[in-house]
Copies of this chain bind each other. A is one copy, B any other.
Amino acid sequence: MPQPSPITEAHHRWPLRVYWEDTDAGGIVFYANYLKFFERGRTEWLRSLELEQQRLKETLKGLFVVSETRVRYHRPCRLDDRLTVATRLVKTSRATLDLHQWVALHDQPTVVLCDADIRVAWVHAETFKPMRLPPTLTNVLPKP
């Protein structure tokens, strides 16, 4: 597994702290919990575009759901570590967004703990059928 340099200035960044809830008996952050960090990163990236998901659900009857993830775990981290989660839109398709995300130490942002390719689909909030991304979204999403 070659490790690319996943960090760019184009990534939206959000600070995090590692709490007891995030760790496991190995003394490090449990692997599934990075997906919580990535989700917080995506949510805050959307919020930075003035898109709140609870409101999207109520007004557009749509949800973003994850359809595919590829995550590379490079180094562990521990209780009390300060982290940065970063998010960048890589590609927009008719009904999906492809994102690149990473988690790094906040004070040493070149020390990437974990990076991921994430595909999210825009689906109907009741049926979970894929829907075309509406202008409310496409008009504010950055051009990748």
The interface of chain A, by Cβ under 8 A from chain B, is 1, 17, 19-21, 23-28, 30-33, 35-36, 39-40, 43, 52-55, 63, 65-73, 75-76, 78-80, 125, 128
Nearest B residue to A25 by beta-carbon distance? B23
**Complex-state Cα separation, A24 to B36, whole angstroms:** 12
Closest Cβ neighbor of A34 among chain B residues: B32
| A26 CA / B68 CA spacing, docked (Å) | 17
Given A1-B68, A67-B73, A68-B1, also A23-B21 (CB < 8 A): no
Closest 9 CB pairs of A and B: A32-B35, A23-B25, A31-B66, A21-B36, A54-B80, A54-B79, A32-B32, A70-B70, A69-B71
